[in-house]
Amino acid sequence: MSKQRFAAIAESQRRSPLNVDENGRRSELYAENVFNDERMLQYLTIDALDSVRNAIFSGSKINRKVADQVAEAMKAWAISMGATHYTHWFQPLTGATAEKHDAFFDLLSDGRALEKFGGAQLVQQEPDASSFPSGGIRNTFEARGYTAWDPTSPAFVYGTTLCIPTIFVSYTGEALDNKTPLLRALHAIDEAATGVAKYFDKNVVKVNATLGWEQEYFLIDRALANSRTDISMTGRTLIGNSAAKGQQLDDHYFGVIPNRAIAFMKELEKECLLLGIPVKTRHNEVAPNQFELAPVFEEANLAVDHNLLLMDVMDKIAAKHNFKVLFHEKPFAGINGSGKHNNWSLTTDTGVNLLSPGSTPMKNLQFLTFFVNTIKAVDNYEELLRSSIASASNDHRLGANEAPPAIISIFIGKQLGNVLDELEGVTKGKLSPEEKTELKLNVVGKIPEILLDNTDRNRTSPFAFTGNKFEMRGVGAKTNCAKPMTILNTIVAKQLRDFKKEVDALIDKKNLKKDEAVFNVLREYIKTSKRIRFDGDGYSDNWEKEAKRRKLSNNKNTPQALKVLTSEDSLSLFQTTGVLSETEVKARQEVELEAYIMHVQIEARVLKELVYNQVVPTAVEYQSRLIKNVLGLKEIYGAAHTGLSDAPSSIIEQIGENIAELKKKTDAMAAAVVKADKMADTSKKASAYCDNVLSYFESIREHCDLLEQLVDDRLWPLTKYRELLFIR
């Protein structure tokens, strides 16, 4: 097996950067392969275009006649772009995307062939749903599913296929995907935020949630990655001794991008721009061979689609450049993992960012209203927000190295913290003229139009305010952003509804003026949500103890984190906002738990295989060589061999002890897998895998890594960290 390792190293060292054509301005490349408003203007009638625009803006339905026109236009444009097939592109509960390609091809009754694509094929398809996760939401005889066109996310040509973003629902109408609940949540936040925004501007008709994700990833030479079973099968290294040099010198962060990596990035960015993904930033991240890509902010639904498309494009471009992209949240022990920070805000159709401070007291009161309500929403549903980033892979990242802990808290900075502290002292009920002046001029009025970035570099808070948006830092690198964005928009929508009811009640029943009512309600929210605010003073090193005192949840693993989904409060939240039915919530919980079980199960099997098929045989072989060496010394030197053979004898003993412990613990892990697999209850089974199977991983790894240090480098079969992370 060591031959494969050294062959992979040799192959990787022969690589050279590919030449990438960068001709053309980015603005000219942008969205060339997208059937966007500009293309529709060229291909559709004015009536059809207006119908599609209304569907995008207000959610109105598109009638069959218009759908036929749009389909015909899409087909003509797609074929002109070289497309031969079309597909409904959707997001099943696997966390990835799915597609089934059909050709623009049909036969007439007389046997003649023609290109065909009509409104019926555009609007709805019926893929078989039997092999997608459903959480028991449908019976076998109801295996049919429906994909339905989402006109708010434009179709695009990828390769030779016209891809049409769609939702995916069951035979009985329940959501079987991640897009449907996201669209419902975005509708809920639109209605709730618009109602509150009208306090400050009657002209506001619509509010969009925006998202700017930051995609972190590792680039590993493909030959090196393929030489390791654990990377190929699980996306991470299950064993591996840390390299002597890691990230401690901070020499990779924002450093010069390696030549092969920059060639990959150039081609990736070009493909992204053609597909309408507005990529803007690229740089080295902290860990060796780790990088980041970030786009311009977009409407949340479109941003989610673009991130999923990006990950697929990255895989394809990486293969061309002889790389493997690792999206796993913690592919290497001892160095930074990868996240996907979700930067979220709300913008009106009048062009105002509701989380951006303004130049007048009224604009700042609007900012404070949405700012405080978001804090209150997170405080009310911090445990639910934690559940949205739960996964077997992200569990390894949360709380490790740079990553935020599993405890949800909010960092807002001292400047805004002081403002909220002053607002906490607002008089209950009507305000005196002096207090109104004090509030408007000296408290609210002094919030700067553009706040300095208040975020600190510590990662104690997974949710931080960064000047004109909130940054959700705990999202994992391979997570579908739809999951956290659905929860975040849902809880803020619920909070804004409650806020408006309270403000309206004070105006109608207490005869308070609008500003007074707003201040009164915000004051109470500031008081009741103080526990969620982390200012970093006095308890940075003992945050778990402080969080416990504040009664914040600390769900460190996925089985714990997912329990909240079916709590009474959660079910009520989803039902009152119309985002998910009780059946859909329970199905999602079941799917997430099953996914957790399968991921840990696969890792346990791979780890067992590595131990028995590679680590132990290699260690035994080297031990045998050392034994032969000691016997040879004894034969030559007789009784005098003792001092000469002390070192190899000691290593023989250490190898033997580690092999014995390794076998013992691997056998115990395998027995725990068998026992867990016999459990019928999914929740109990997931907990068993977490508590009784996963608990062996670290100790097994410890013995493997010790053996890696003891065994002759020429024999070790697994590509080492120093090779995976530093060969470029």
Q: Is 344 helix (H, G, I), strand (E, B) or coil?
A: strand
Q: Which two tokens stand for residue 114?
A: 């023609």
Q: Tell me the H-state helices in 356-481.
A: 361-380, 382-387, 414-423, 433-437
Count the Cβ atoms, other than its own, within 10 Å of residue 675. 12
Q: What is the mean pLDDT of the chain?
A: 91
Which has the minimum average pLDDT: 274-288, 441-455, 472-486, 577-591?
Answer: 441-455
Q: Give CATH 1.20.120.1560 domain extents, the chain.
A: 595-725
Residue 129: the pLDDT is 61
User: 442: Cβ–Cβ under 8 A, 6 or more apart, which residues?
Assistant: none
User: 628: Cβ–Cβ under 8 A, 6 or more apart, which residues?
Assistant: none
Q: Is the pLDDT of residue 399 over 80?
A: no
Instruction: Return the higher-pLDDT residue of 187 and 362.
Output: 187
At 1, the pLDDT band (50, 70, 90 cuts) reads: low
Which has the minimum average pLDDT: 48-52, 189-193, 432-436?
Answer: 432-436
Residue 455: the pLDDT is 47
DSSP 87-104: EEEB-BTTSS-B--EEES
Can you tell me which residue has the tokens 């559709």? Answer: 44
Rounded CA-CA distance 330/253 in Å is 18
- Give me the architecture of the 595-725 domain, per CATH: Up-down Bundle (1.20)
Rounded CA-CA distance 290/288 in Å is 5
Q: How far is CA 453 from CA 414, 469, 534, in A?
A: 11, 10, 16
- CATH T-level fold of 187-238+247-580: Creatine Kinase; Chain A, domain 2 (3.30.590)
In 3D, which of 716, 705, 676, 710 has the Cα closest to residue 693? 676
Instruction: Return the higher-pLDDT residue of 570 and 510.
Output: 570
Q: Is the pLDDT of residue 545 over 80?
A: yes
Overall pTM surpassing 0.75 (yes/no):
yes
Residue 459: the pLDDT is 57
Which has the minimum average pLDDT: 125-139, 144-158, 213-227, 357-371?
Answer: 125-139
- Residue 466 carries which DSSP code? -
Q: Is the pLDDT of residue 181 over 80?
A: yes
Which has the minimum average pLDDT: 37-51, 153-167, 229-243, 583-597?
Answer: 37-51
Q: Give CATH 3.30.590.10 domain extents, the chain.
A: 187-238+247-580
Rg of the chain on CA atoms, in Å? 29
588-622 pLDDT per residue, tens: 999 999 999 999 999 999 999 999 999 999 999 99
**Percent of the chain whose predicted confidence (pLDDT) is above 90:** 73
Q: Give CATH 3.10.20.70 domain extents, the chain.
A: 31-169
Please say whether the beta carbons of 527 and 382 come within 8 A: no
User: Highest mean pLDDT: which of 2-11, 385-394, 534-543?
Assistant: 385-394
**Sign (positive or negative) of CA dihedral 465, 377, 178, 151:** negative
Q: Is the pLDDT of residue 538 over 60?
A: no
Q: How far is CA 534 from CA 154, 444, 458, 609, in A?
A: 40, 22, 11, 44
The domain 31-169: what is its CATH number?
Answer: 3.10.20.70
User: 483: Cβ–Cβ under 8 A, 6 or more apart, which residues?
Assistant: 178, 388, 389
**Percent of the chain whose predicted confidence (pLDDT) is above 70:** 95
646-680 pLDDT per residue, tens: 888 999 999 999 999 999 999 999 999 999 999 99
Question: What angle (nearest 5°) sits at the alpha carbon of residue 722, between those of residues 718 and 728?
Answer: 105
